[in-house]
Amino acid sequence: MSEPESRPNKVRPSRRLLRAGVIVVLTAAALGGLVWAASVQRPRTDPFATEPSVLSARWFLEPMERNRFLRLPAVVSDLYSVTFAADGKRGWAVGADGTIVATTDGGNTWQAQASGTKAELWSVTFAADGKRGWAVGGDLINAGTIIATADGGNTWQPLTSGAKAKLMSVTFAVDGKRGWAVGDQGTIVATADGGNTWKPQAGGTKDSLRSVSFAVDGKRGWAVGEDGIILATTDGGTTWQPQTND
């Protein structure tokens, strides 16, 4: 007698559907896990950092960013001046239309602060404590603008400078009390009480002054401006003398 022919095993349709369903579920779960992992990843601390190698742990732990610049502060106004506290973490930048932005992490992230003015802010400086700060500026409408803060920029208050021209630069002695601001038309104003009151000083020039700096002693100072002018003082600004600039 001849042996019966062997028949190939056939997978039932129901079993095929079951296998396909398992594959779909596992694939969906894997994709869902990847989406969840991506959603809980924190942005990179440094938006300028280079992409990590695929062989490093950073490649798995950090998100891939194609438009990292979008995380930078969306400041549309020009910025003219920047200063940092002694700790190198807290910093402030000022600019057009009363713009002030501040950072507390060394510049990785910046937040806008309300200056309370629409005047151009040309210069900013802070005391070493990072709490007391001053910004100066002005334009055709708001001449001699000075604003100050005592809480790191959370709130800014206007000060009366008495200046009739825009102010371009400001500096303070280490005591945070004596300060000087210079600007257009040879303007120099000074304070001895942390900015509460300002008095004009005679620089002996009508040239616009763009920057001012003082030594630690608060007595020796220099101001520079248009046409190469350099002024110097050795008595805290009571008298200013032109310097030779050959």
> pLDDT digits over 41-84, tens only?
666 656 556 666 767 776 666 665 555 555 555 666 899 999 99
Asked if residue 109 lies in contact with residue 68, where contact means CB atoms within 8 angstroms, the answer is: no
Higher pLDDT, 8 or 223: 223
Candidates 148, 62, 68, 135; CA nearest to 97 is 135
Tokens, residue 218 = 């608060």
Dump pLDDT digits (tens) for 136-172.
999 988 999 999 999 999 999 999 999 999 999 999 9
pTM > 0.75: no
**pLDDT number for residue 117:** 95
Asked if residue 159 lies in contact with residue 146, where contact means CB atoms within 8 angstroms, the answer is: yes
The mean pLDDT value for 213-234 works out to: 96
The region of weakest confidence among 3-12, 40-49, 74-83, 212-221 is: 3-12
Asked if residue 173 lies in contact with residue 181, where contact means CB atoms within 8 angstroms, the answer is: no
Query: What residue type is assigned to position 168 of the chain?
Result: M
Confidence of residue 39 (pLDDT cuts 50, 70, 90): low
Asked if residue 71 lies in contact with residue 43, where contact means CB atoms within 8 angstroms, the answer is: yes
Asked if residue 167 lies in contact with residue 138, where contact means CB atoms within 8 angstroms, the answer is: yes
